[in-house]
Structure 1
Amino acid sequence: MNLSQQQWWSQFLTDEKGVILDVRTEDEVNAGKIPGSINIDIYKGQGFIYQIDELDKSKNYYVYCAAGGRSANACNIMREMGFENAYNLVGGFSEWDGPKE
């Protein structure tokens, strides 16, 4: 599900089962990220699938990338794998004006 930045962040802040998932590359993450996010690079292909499969499917995932394209793909993959709640950050990190580290 695509959410605007405001919806995505405010929903995450009130979600006791919320997890932020960054699907960018390691280099992108090293240049800055949303605090507390976990990184699983979608470009790792099958490795991405293996790592996603180890996540707790009862949690709600707030997924982002640089612009919103890779994270939209990640949300679709996660839904196919049985994750009920994966929320895509529209605009991605490039348009993010929330907290960064």
Structure 2
Amino acid sequence: MYIYNVTINVEEQVHQEWLTWMQEEHIPEMLATRKFTNAKIIKVLVEEEMGGMTYSVQYFTKDKETLEKYYLEDAEALRSKATRKFPNKFVAFRTELQIVSEH
């Protein structure tokens, strides 16, 4: 199992609008690609020097191949929607995680 993790710092002025958009539009669109089984929004509880609100959004997928297929087929279009909707209002850092074991 892989996790596509997107850590996002969003400006406080648009924070609530962004959060609603993520829950009602963006995450459903990500799941509609059928490349992810589920997603979680996790609030980061560390205050950033840059201000804003920080979240970790985790998308779960079965394997690296499926994640690569997302990059090739869907990533650019879905990322550009966020940039157009909230221009210069957030920064994102993406990482890939692999679940080694669960207890």
Q: Same fold (TM over 0.5)?
A: no
Q: Could you state the TM-score of these two structures normalised by the residue count of structure 2? A: 0.28
**By percentage of residues, which structure has more strand?**
2
Pair member with larger Rg: 2
Q: Could you state the TM-score of these two structures normalised by the residue count of structure 1? A: 0.28
